[in-house]
Structures are given as C-alpha cells and as structure tokens.
Amino acid sequence: MTEHHKMIAGVDEAGRGPLVGSVVAAAVILEEGHGIIGLADSKKLTEKKREKLFDEIIQKSKSYAIAEATPKEIDILNILQASLLAMKRAVEQLKVQPDFVQVDGSRCPEWHYASEAIIKGDSKVQAISAASILAKVHRDRLMVELDKQFPQYQFAKHKGYPTKLHFELLEQHGVIDGYRKTFKPVAKLFV
C-alpha cells in the first residue's frame, strides 16, 4: 500500500488512560536508511531507552511534530475524539507534508491525507514506533513538570495513570485543574 508514496508519516498517541493532563500525539517522517536502532512500541522500552531514542529520532527524522489535546478538550469531545484531534494537529504541524499517513490503532482522523490505520502499528511500522516514543516521552515530561507544581500528587511517579497510589493522593488532596473531569474516578469526587 505504501510503495508509491515517498513521504510517509507515522502517527501515534500517548496518554489516553491517565486521569490528568493532555493526550499527546506525534507524527514522524523518517529518513530512508535512518539508522535508528531499537525502535519499538514505547511501552516495551525502558524510560532511559526512550529518552535516548527521543533525541536520536528528532536528529535523524526528515520531519516530526508533537501536538496535544487538552484535558478540557478531552472532557468536551471524549478521549477517542481528542486523541484523533491531537493526531491531526501533529500531522498538520509537520514541516514536510506527507503524501501518506500510517496511524497506530483502528481508525484515522478525518482529514484530507491518504492514510491507513494499523492495529499494533507501533510494533510493526518504524515511523509509528518513532512517533510512539516521541509522544510518550513528551507526555512523561509534562507529568514531571506538573509534579514540580504539585509534588503532593507524585505525578512524576505514576504519570497520571489510575494507580492505587494516585487514587489515594487524589482522595487526599482533591481535584486540581488539569484533571479530566469526565473520567469516572475524577467525576465521582464532584458528587
């Protein structure tokens, strides 16, 4: 399907499951023969390996972009639509526009690009793996920044995911701006 295309972008998102923060998407067009070793689904890599690959992907890609959909947008649209919006924003921000886009998952955003959705694409297509790493590292860094503002929530530790520790801290300290208010564990604290 991609053999007639020269500029193929891989797209993935990170942060659909957390209770707080933006959902982040990245789009990457890799150089042919890029030489980046170790590209894989970001969830299968250590944090240290992702950080190393993040810099290498940025240096060696033909073009890349990282975009977000905010917690407010997530609450208005729902997490799926917000993820698709972040993906669309990432592709539109590429300095080199693709002639084909490969998206991790089962659906593509509504856009004018020729594209295909690939289930488990982050472990099958190198450009999607690269996008998955950029999105995950960027989102983790956002959580580290939020942790500096609100250390009592320990965001750097759980990255906003619904862990036992996070639930305990949320119960103890309450909901701050940046939480996804339509997500059940957060919404029930407003009752």
CATH number at residue 118: 3.30.420.10
Q: What total of structural domains would you count in the chain? A: 1
113 occurs within a structural domain: yes
Scanning the structure block, which residue is given the tokens 């997500």? 183
Q: Are strands 115-118 and 61-69 parallel, antiparallel or unpaired?
A: unpaired
pLDDT < 50 positions in the chain: none
49-95: pLDDT as tens digits: 999 999 999 999 999 999 999 999 999 999 999 999 999 999 999 99
Beta bridge partners of 11: 27, 103
For residue 87, what pLDDT is reported? 98
Tell me whether residue 3 is in a domain: no
Query: Which residue shows structure tokens 């939480």?
Result: 179
Question: Has residue 121 been placed in a domain?
Answer: yes
- What burial class does residue 55 get, using C-beta atoms within 10 Å of its C-beta: 0-12 exposed, 13-18 middle, 19+ buried? exposed
**What confidence score (pLDDT) does residue 4 get?**
73
The helix, strand and coil proportions of the chain, stated in percent and rounded to the nearest 5, come to 45, 20, 35
pLDDT of residue 191: 55
User: Quick check: is 149 in a domain?
Assistant: yes
Contacts 24+ apart (CB under 8 A), 163-168: 166/19
Q: Is residue 1 part of a domain?
A: no
* Residue 2 resides in a domain: no
Range of the domain at 134: 8-190
